[in-house]
Amino acid sequence: MIFAALVMALILAAVALPAAAHGFGPVFYCDAGTLNNCTDTVDVASAEDTFSCEGTAGDAASCTNQRTGEASPYCVFEGRVSGTERDSYLCGPAPGEQQQGEHNH
């Protein structure tokens, strides 16, 4: 089980790195089916950051980092992290918005 969670975390990290290069991030995790207990890691005990979120669990939410105050107004559900009771969300620009400095090609 732990191995599966580790593999999933590595896969999510591999997805998040290119996403961050395009103005996406952060990735965070909440208790399954809720927007409760949201943290920067799958393992709540090792989390450094917590997030306060509003919206619809399993769809889209807006979240604020409780330590830094950084707001992420558009975060989308990526799915349940295999082997855990945690859901993954990726934050980024709302559909149709461009990040500053980006251009359509």
Cis amide bond preceding 95, omega within 30: no
Domain residue ranges in the chain: 2-91
Which range among 23-27, 47-51, 94-98, 101-105 has the greatest average pLDDT? 47-51
Q: C-alpha distances in angstroms, 67 versus 39, 40, 50, 51, 52?
A: 11, 11, 7, 8, 10
pLDDT of residue 23: 63
Residue entry with tokens 């707001």: 71
pLDDT of residue 1: 54
- The helix (run of H) or strand (run of E) holding residue 40 is none
With 0.85 as the threshold, say if the pTM is over it. Answer: no
